[in-house]
Structure 1
Amino acid sequence: MQFARKPKTKAGFKIIPGALIPAFFTLLTGCAALPDLAPYRDATLQLRSTVLVGGSAVQSGLDAAAGSYEAGDPAAKRIRESSQKFATEWRARIAAADSLVEYADALNDIARSATEGAGAARSLADSLGKLASGAGIAPPPAGTVAAAADAAAFVYAHIAAVRAAQSLDEALQSAQPAVDRVAALLTGDLQASLNLLRASHRLQRDALVLKYNEEMGFLKALTRERKEIYGRSSLRPEDEQRLKKLSEMHEATREWREPMEKALAEMESTLKIRVELIKSTQTAVAEWAAAHRNIAAAVREKRSVNVEALVQATLEARELVRRLKEL
């Protein structure tokens, strides 16, 4: 009867059969390394900066609109009240942006710790709770039954699911709907600020046009008269003389038309960049949530995280910030 040969030894160490090598290294390492989340954290920091500048852009637009009216004008008073209200509300959005950074930091710490079990899930739940709180989503009162559509009930139900998860993979998947809801909340706030910015721009434009109201009335009268004369079947000598006079008067309006048109063009240019900045920030927030979804897949599939779209969105926002500062 033959027996299987014992593995040979070398220098006092037992040689492990090839079939057992993968299992051996699994025992040594516990699991494959978690993905590097430093790029996600860094991009989140840039996103926070973009949110701050976006708020400043809206605030500047409101202040410029208020400054277009005479002191004591009811319109100026309404705009300044809106500006003060916006400043108060935007501080809460800055706190939300801070919570995004804290959450990304926490995710990075979990990844660096290389833990994937229930402990990692509980840590993620704690961080997700802070994210929700920072975004202004408070836990629903104990004992109440909230509607499924209620943001607080929805988010904290998912936080509970994260806390009950037995693995980081499961926890990240349970966290995603809550992350999406927080991102949607911030995106909605950005949209509200965009609407406010456009409304203030209209008021600012109206104030400038009102400033030149008499001049514009005179210009329209010149235009109507020229059109009426040119519409005649034939022109008399006196018509020719009148057209010449009208042309001279029209040319004289350049003295006030050019400054007005320049001011209007500058308003439109500034508004365009401010609007693009807010929209770019909305895109970056959406990409932040999408990158979080990619993190969950990367942990599950043991691969690197692709945050290129998020990084690109923040870079585009940074370029708009640069252009805005140059105005």
Structure 2
Amino acid sequence: MTSLPRIGFVGLGNMGGPMCQRLVGAGYPVSAFDLNPDALERVVAVGAVAATSAAACAAQADIFLTSLPRPDHVEAVMAGDNGALAHLKSGSLWVDLTTNRNELVFRLASQAPQGVAVVDSPVTGAVDGARNGKLTLFAGGDQVSFDRAAEVLGHLGLVIHCGALGTGNVVKLVTNQLWFIGAAAIGEGFATGMANGVELGTLWHAIRSSVGDSFVAQHDAPSIFAGHYDPSFSLDLCLKDLRLIQELNRNVRAALPMTTAAEGAFALAASRYGAQAAELHVARRIEDDAGISMRLEGDWVPPWEQ
């Protein structure tokens, strides 16, 4: 019987923590590291082993996973003589679950020690998807590396092979492009209906039962109704991804006004409520300016508790 590969996991935040815990639960030997001792303690409590640093975590791993908020965090963890990349052993695989900048992924992959393979595999599906193993993971890399990664990533959700290294990030950013446009728009739709005499609950039911339906209507609208606006993802992270999306859009050579408008809507919300405010403050800004309330009575279980 073949033994399971040793997993190294760095980045134990809102998404990384639940993903790491699922791999522990699947029986993998997992070494983990995070700068936040509380986040590290939560995965140790379910069976992970605490590493003393990202580099030490990488040195022990057959498959090394990173789940970090931003590209600059990935560079800080991975790059340089003391970075995790330099400590990966020949034959190991680095899978970056971060929504990242391809230029950085390509540069780090070119600096990987001989015999170390790289796959980019950003994820979507929110905190509840991470907790419940119902994420979608967009993987870019050669077929052999993908097949190896998919055996582990399959415990986290649906794994889609998008093509060569870097295509995982492209597909993830396209899905976020459409998500952000929808999130920026749904508050406008609610406001338009309410301002013209339609009750919010009726409006929402009609949207979900029509061509207006979307992930935003199904998953995100209850966070507006509850008034917490989903703090598991910040306006700052939305704007980070929108900047990465705009970098990709330069290759289109055509105006993409919907994406530009969404970026403006999130920037306006961030200037009003602060960059760390919950993502759906993009709808709260409309509430406040229009003088309406989108609170709706109901048992709205927060996504991170589902």
- Superposition TM-score tier, normalisation by shorter sequence: under 0.3
Is the radius of gyration larger for structure 1 or structure 2? 1
Name the TM-score, length of structure 1 as normaliser.
Answer: 0.26
The structure richer in strand per residue is 2
Higher relative contact order, chain-length normalized (CA < 8 Å, sep 6+):
1
Name the TM-score, length of structure 2 as normaliser.
Answer: 0.27
The structure richer in helix per residue is 1
